[in-house]
Amino acid sequence: MALVGAIIGAATGGWINDVFGRKKATLSADVVFTVGSIVLAAAPDAYVLIFGRLLVGLGVGIASVTAPVYIAESSPAEIRGSLVSTNVLMITGGQFLSYLINLAFTEVPGTWRWMLGVAALPAIIQFFVMICLPESPRWLFLKNRKDEAVTVLAKIYDYERLEDEVDYLTALSEQDRQKRKNIRYADVFRSKEIRIAFFVGGGLQAFQQFTGISIAMYYSPTIIQLAGFSSNQLALLISLIVAGMNAAGTILGIYLIDHAGRRKLALTSLSGSVVALAVLSAGCYLAESDSTNSLYGWIAVIGLALYILFFAPGMGPVPWTVNSEIYPEEFRGVCGGMSATVNWICSVIMSESFLSISDAVGLGGSFVILGAIAVVAFFFVLFFVPETKGLTFEEVSLIWKRRAWGKDYDTQSLLERGNQF
């Protein structure tokens, strides 16, 4: 139900962002998440518990749309990828901390109520910190609140660059206001270049889930036990290590995404993931054929660890970073919400189908399927995803115009310029 809530939150989050701004969208997500956590902690029965999970999911869905866009719009182009990737680090780092915190609460009376209720604390902290932070300067320009936008930009850029940025955004925002009118979801599919951009953005989000990261994080204790480790305590300990590796890999991704580039990082990540899934699958097949040999179980665990090490720096942050920068201003909220919705829907599909598929074809067979999907994802990135490292939002939009309408829009020089960062 949390994932269902996230789907609804992501679908509506784009509209909330466009109408009320990135700051108010974040504040609203914090309020919903806090209320949901309190409902969970106080739930008298399973039905109230399910409702609380739905509320928490709504908050997560809105935040998943808002945070990457807010960060991207407030960042200089040359470090935009690193800063958006930091958001992914906060997610993976938060997952690791949640393992530690929940482990501590196992020794406290009313364990699960504390585990679920304490989730309100970071939302409350973010709410009060967010009050002190400014609105996105690009959104302010779009709403003709130039003085406020200039004040924000002055905190980001030095004087020389500030003047150029203000002049540029002033001209650009006037064009956006004329084009914007009332952007609806159907408009995404009416515009050829936006349709192509969403195909790339939504495809990346789908492949992020279909290559198995949710399975690795949700079911790592189950995978470890199915691979031959019968101890619950050992399975949870190894899962804690897996979560830590996921966070550590994201730190590496923060550095690489603005140095190696989004496309190269994603291709390397997927290549390594294919190899890792092959090792994991082989380990599971061997463990299922001979459960008495502990070596086979360790092969599976090594495959799982390798998968996280390759996935986390690349396919972890790249889909969110690319989706925060490939859409024009007037479509950024709507398309960002739609692509995040794709991600959450695919996450539900994976989490609901994995155990059934593993029952049907075996755990090893399940990872063979994920490996095959990762191969398809590799070719998707190779043929469809452009490099956006170091490019401004407007330079990225020219890529889609050229793809949609031919060589009238020459982006080669822009790509070469982006590679210099």
pLDDT tens digit string along 348-377? Answer: 899 888 888 888 988 889 999 999 999 999
Say how many CA atoms lie within 13 Å of 209 toward its Cβ.
22
415 pLDDT above the threshold of 70: no
171 CB neighbour count, 10 Å cutoff: 10
The per-residue pLDDT for 204 is 96
Asked if residue 103 lies in contact with residue 240, where contact means CB atoms within 8 angstroms, the answer is yes
State the pLDDT at residue 401: 87
Q: How confident is the model at residue 178 (pLDDT cuts 50, 70, 90)?
A: low
Answer yes or no: is pLDDT of 236 > 80: no
Mean pLDDT across the stretch 253-281? 93
Answer whether residue 106 shows pLDDT above 60.
Answer: yes
Percent helix, strand and coil across the chain, each to the nearest 5: 80, 0, 20
| Euclidean distance between the first and the last CA atom of the chain, given in angstroms as a whole number | 43
What pLDDT, in 10s, does the model give residues 193-224?
899 999 999 999 999 999 988 888 776 776 67
Model pLDDT, residue 384 = 95
User: Across the chain, what does the average pLDDT equal?
Assistant: 86
In terms of DSSP H, where are the helices of 43-158? 46-73, 80-105, 111-117, 120-131, 137-142, 146-154
Phi first, then psi: what are they for 181, rounded to 5°?
A: 45, -120
Number of Cβ within a 10 Å radius of residue 163 = 13
> In the structure, what pLDDT confidence band is assigned to residue 421 with cuts at 50, 70 and 90?
very low
Q: Which residues contact 178 (CB under 8 A, 6 or more apart)?
A: none
The two tokens of residue 196 are 């192509």
Residue 94 has pLDDT above 70, yes or no: yes
In tens, the pLDDT along 46-65 reads 999 999 999 999 999 999 99
What is the predicted pLDDT for the residue at 76? 87
pLDDT score of 180: 55
- 68-71-74-75 Cα dihedral, nearest 10 degrees: -100
pLDDT tens-digit profile of 371-400? 999 999 999 999 999 999 888 888 888 888
Which band of pLDDT confidence, cut at 50, 70 and 90, is reported for residue 142?
confident
pLDDT of 141 > 90? The answer is no
Q: Please give the Cα distance from 215 to 223 (Å, whole number).
A: 9
Measured between alpha carbons, how far is 311 from 295 in angstroms, rounded to an integer?
24
- The DSSP letter of residue 411 is -
Could you say which DSSP state residue 45 is in? S
